[in-house]
């Protein structure tokens, strides 16, 4: 009789594990690139801040960062959607005298780096349009991005704890009932 309960508990645990593994899927983290070595937006903004602190203009800072991203020894075609190419194109447009919004228009709407570039554009826009230092705005944007990522990580951790709890409940509760409760009831009933 005890062997049947053990087999039933093992089968229940196996079914719970199968259901849990079958429902698993790959999840991409928001705001993070899925492949390649593209630096995160806070790092790009910090690089702009360092360049500005050293006396560079915004277009020069964008151009240097873009060239640095491209300087990896790989030949890049001009129509490639590399972040460095996009930053250099924006810097060149600004240096040619394009206004802020038109300069950022060189970035196609379907660019895979659109979110990163939009964050940089929105952070630096007041500085370009009104002539104020971008440093405070950059620090604020970096703090906001970090807060958003931290909140996203905490929400993902909360969802993960719920997802882990269900298979554990499907494994341990039936096993406890089948191995601990039912045999106890049977032994008390038989006495």
The string of pLDDT tens digits covering residues 84-131 is 889 999 999 999 999 999 999 888 888 888 888 999 999 999 999 998
61-96-75 Cα angle (round to 5): 60
In angstroms, the CA 137 to CA 115 distance is 18
Beta strands in 77-130, from DSSP E residues, in sequence order: none
Contacts of 87 (CB under 8 A, 6+ apart): 62, 63, 65, 66, 69, 117, 120
Cβ burial, residue 141 (10 Å; 0-12/13-18/19+): buried
DSSP 177: I
Reported pTM: 0.64
């Amino acid at each position: 009789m005890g062997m049947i309960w053990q087999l039933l508990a093992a089968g229940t645990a196996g079914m719970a594990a199968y259901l849990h593994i079958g429902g698993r899927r790959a999840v991409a983290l928001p705001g993070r690139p899925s492949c390649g070595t593209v630096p995160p937006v806070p790092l790009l903004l910090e690089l702009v801040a360092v360049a500005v602190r050293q006396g560079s203009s915004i277009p020069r800072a964008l151009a240097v960062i873009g060239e640095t991203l491209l300087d990896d020894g790989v030949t890049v075609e001009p129509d490639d959607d590399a972040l460095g190419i996009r930053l250099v194109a924006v810097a060149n447009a600004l240096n040619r005298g394009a206004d802020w919004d038109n300069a950022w228009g060189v970035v196609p709407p379907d660019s895979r780096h659109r979110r990163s570039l939009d964050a940089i554009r929105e952070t630096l826009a007041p500085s370009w349009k009104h002539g104020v230092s971008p440093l405070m705005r950059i620090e604020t944007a970096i703090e906001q991005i970090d807060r958003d990522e931290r909140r996203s990580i905490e929400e993902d951790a909360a969802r993960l704890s719920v997802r882990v709890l269900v298979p554990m409940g499907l494994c341990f509760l039936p096993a406890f009932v089948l191995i601990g409760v039912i045999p106890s009831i049977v032994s008390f009933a038989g006495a």
